Amino acid sequence: MIRHQQTRREWLRQTAAGLSLAALPASAAPAPGARVTVARCRTYSPNELLPVMARMFDQLGGLERLVKGKTAAVKINLTGSPTYRLKYFPLEDTHYTHPQVIAAATHLMGRAGARRVRILESPWATTDPVEEYLLQANIEPRDILNAAPNVEFENTNYLGKGKKYSRFMVPSGGYLFPGYDLNHSYEDCDVFVSIAKMKEHATAGITLSMKNCFGITPCTIYGTGAGVDEPSLVPKGGRGLVHAGDRQPSKSAPQEKDPKSPREDTWRVPRAVADLISARPIHLALVDGIRTMTGGEGPWVSLYSEAVAPGVIVAGLNPVSTDAVSMALMGFNPMAVRGTPPFEQCDSTLQLAEAAGAGTRDLNRIEVIGPPIAEARFDFAGMREKRKKMPASDWPMRG
C-alpha cells in the first residue's frame, strides 16, 4: 500500500476544527472573566468623543486607579507607509488609529494624574521620529503632544532613546519564541495601553488590540534586514522572519523554540501575537471602530475594500475579552476556530491567547456595558461573505 506523505499545508487544513492539543501551553489556567464597555460614537469631534470615552473609562473603574502618578505607554497603529490611501480618504478614517482617539485617551490619562504618557509606534523601515511619520500622513502631532502634560513619542522599531533592549519572557514558555527583545519603552512604563483600529486582516483574520502589538517587535532584531549576531543599527524591511520563519532573529535575542514548526504566516503570526501580549501584558485595550475599512488591514490588501463608519468604540481592561466583544460587533463569532470566519485560513489569536491564560473570549463570561451587541453590530462578516462570491481573479491580494 502506498502511503501519502502529509504536507504541512494539508496538516494545517486538517486541524481547521481546532488547535492541536500539543500546541497549547501546559500551564493554561481557566481564563478570567472581564468587563468590556461599548459606546456609540458617530464622529471624532472632541465634543462628542471626549465625554463618550470619559464615561467608558469610568465604567471600567476609572483611569485614576490605573495611571495616577505613573508612566503610561500607548501603542498606536500606523500600519503601512503614509503614501498608502484608500481612494481619497484620510488614513485615520480607514486604517490608522485616529489622532483624536489618541489625543482624547492621552488627555483623559493626564487628567487622571498620569506622570508621563509615551506614544509608541514602529514606523516602516525608518528611524525617523513618529512625529515626522504622522506629518507625512497629514496628521498634526502637536494635537497629541498638547493633549496632556509630559507627552512624548518614541519610535520603537529600533533601540531609540534606550541604551539596550529589554527582554520579555513569555510566562507559559511561548508558542513561537520563549521571549522577545523589545525597545526599552515597553519596560520603562507602569501601564501599557493598546489603541487599535477595528479591522480585518489578511494573515490573522482580524486585527484589534492584540494584533496591534505585533508591531512592538523591532525590525532591527526581527526584520528581514536584522543583524545576524547583534541587532542592526537601523530597521530594514518588515517582519518577514516572524511571518515566514525564513531566518532566525539576531542571535542576541531568544531563538525560535522549534525551527521545524510550520513556516506558514497564518500559523506563525497568531502565535507570535499570543506570545507578545502574554510577555508584555496590556492593561487597557481600546478599539476605534468609529470609522474604518473592510477587507483587510490596509488599502494594499483588497481590491474591494471600502471605507465604512460602524460608529462604535470598545474599551476593556483585558485584551482578549475586548477583542472578543469587538469581533462580535463585527458580526463574527469570537469562539470561531481555524476554518471558520474570520479565521478561514489562519489560527485564532483569541483561542491561542485564551489557552495561554491571558483572558476569556466567551461572551457568556464577559460583562458587556453599553448598547446590546446585536443593536450596535456592523456587518463585516456579511461583507466578507459577499467578497467570497466574487470572481477568483478579484479575490483580495496580499500586501
Q: pLDDT tens string for the chain (399 positions)?
A: 333 343 444 333 334 334 443 455 544 556 666 899 999 999 999 999 999 999 999 999 999 999 999 999 999 999 999 999 999 999 999 999 999 999 999 999 999 999 999 999 999 889 999 999 999 999 999 999 999 999 999 999 999 999 999 999 999 999 999 999 999 999 999 999 999 999 999 999 999 999 999 999 999 999 999 999 999 999 998 999 999 999 999 999 999 999 999 999 999 999 999 999 999 999 999 999 999 999 999 999 988 899 999 999 999 999 999 999 999 999 999 999 999 999 999 999 999 999 999 999 999 999 999 999 999 999 999 999 888 777 655 544 433
Structural domain of 36? 32-392
Is residue 21, in this structure, part of any structural domain at all? no
- The answer to whether position 4 is within a domain reads no
In a domain, residue 1? The reply is no
Q: Does residue 358 fall inside a structural domain?
A: yes
Tell me whether the omega of the peptide bond preceding residue 249 falls within 30 degrees of 0, making it cis. no
Asked whether residue 62 is domain-assigned, the answer is yes
Contact between 201 and 297 under an 8 Å Cβ cutoff? The reply is yes
Q: List C-alpha distances in Å: 301 to 61, 182, 203, 223.
A: 38, 28, 10, 21
CA–CA gap between residue 23 and residue 82 (Å, rounded): 38
In a domain, 141, yes or no: yes
Sign of CA dihedral 386, 391, 392, 393: negative
Tell whether 27 is covered by a domain: no
In a domain, 398, yes or no: no
Q: What are 82's strand-pairing partners?
A: none
For the chain, the domain total comes to 1
Contact 115, 57 (CB under 8 A): no
